Homo-oligomer: A and B are copies of this chain.
Amino acid sequence: MDKNVLIAHGGGPTAVINASLYGALIELKNQNFKGKIYAPRFGSEGLVNEDFIELQDLSEKELEVLKNTPGSSIGSSRFPLYEKEYEAIVDILIKYNIGYVLYTGGNGTMDTIGNIYKHAKNRGVEVVCVGIPKTVDNDLGGTDHAPGYASAANFVIQSVSDCCADVKGLPIHVSIIQIMGRNAGWLTASSVLARKDKNSGPHLIYCPEVPFDEEQFLKDVKEQWDKREGVVVVCSEGLKDKNGNTVAEPMFKSDRATYYGDVSTHLANLVISKLGIKARSENFGLIQRCATTNISKVDQDEAILMGSVAAKAALDKKNGVMAGLKRISSNPYKVETVLVPIEEVMMDERKLPLKYIKNGNDISDEFIERLKPLVDKPTEKLLLVDKK
């Protein structure tokens, strides 16, 4: 009797997490896999509770819609797992005759699958565990970049570019835009691709890898405001000062996550109170990771590819690995797929290398060259206010 597959999601969804699910399902179909395909409803929570959705009979039409559905179609969670749950999970895998476990997620989720892998191995239970990378923050190691990132970057680039045009046409304030990424500045940095020229913005970009200095920030803003009214600043939600304290007070903390405070509002208030300049705060929030109108084609294709590579690896009994991408060249853009030992990526948080950050408030050309092949160009604009 064929073993069954379990495929689960972990952590915050992205615009293309279901594209990876689609890729895995298509690969299983192509490989003529005959077992059941269980998806635990809401990730690890559904796994522990044996609450499964069966996916083996989805129609072609449903699969097509799934590919373009944002958020996690089968549900995800931030459900914490401990020793007791991992033991129970191995029993559940045996009970449902599951021989292959695929988990899509970031470094926290790779920790989960790595632990399932270890617990099954220790008990001599034959289960092949493979990770599928996913994160909008791009802070997952072992892969050049993770699916989800480029679509979020695409949203950020297009939206920052559109906001810059709006601000240029009505330049009555400093506009401070807050971007996702608690500890890693990859997504914040992507906003640099919205810049047509220095005059059009974004004018200042602050990543969490550089300690944030409020005095220097106010100087930077003042300098920009003196050159032009209508300044656009992009900042990470996770800015911290030189002592590692968040710039804005966290809204609340749990043992697994910190809900950061509103940095852009804090900075806008600083600009108003210290510089006497009107400022407004923009926080793209959730839509960064789920906007379907800004999905990057390259990202969606790579998400499908990662799902498919992981499913194939599982059937080939490549145990304890994560699918990944290795960049061969940026121009022309070329990547190879790789399988990375899961231990190398468990809880590993990859930050934006400092070489990509310029003067503490800007992003380097090297970063632009790296990101460019993954995203679309912003809508072309004619800004006649610049015309003499």
Contact = CB atoms under 8 A, between A and B. Distances in A.
Given A75-B385, A384-B53, A70 B286 contact: no
Interface in A262-277: 262, 265, 272
Most buried by B among A78, A287, A380, A384: A384
Nearest to A383: B73
Contact of A69 (B71, B172, B382): B382
A259 B172 CA distance: 13
Contacts of A73: 169, 381-385
A14 to B, nearest CB: 9
A115 interface: no
A74 to B, nearest CB: 5
Interface of A: 9, 12-13, 15, 18, 39, 41-42, 53, 55, 62, 65-66, 68-78, 158-159, 162-163, 165-172, 175, 252, 259, 262, 265, 272, 280-287, 289-294, 378-385, 387
25 contacts: A9-B169, A13-B169, A39-B384, A65-B380, A65-B382, A69-B381, A69-B383, A70-B379, A70-B381, A71-B170, A72-B170, A75-B168, A78-B172, A158-B291, A162-B290, A166-B289, A166-B290, A252-B272, A259-B280, A281-B285, A282-B285, A282-B286, A283-B285, A293-B293, A293-B294
Per CB-CB distance, the 7 closest pairs between chain A and chain B, nearest first, are: A72-B169, A71-B165, A71-B169, A71-B166, A292-B379, A166-B290, A65-B382
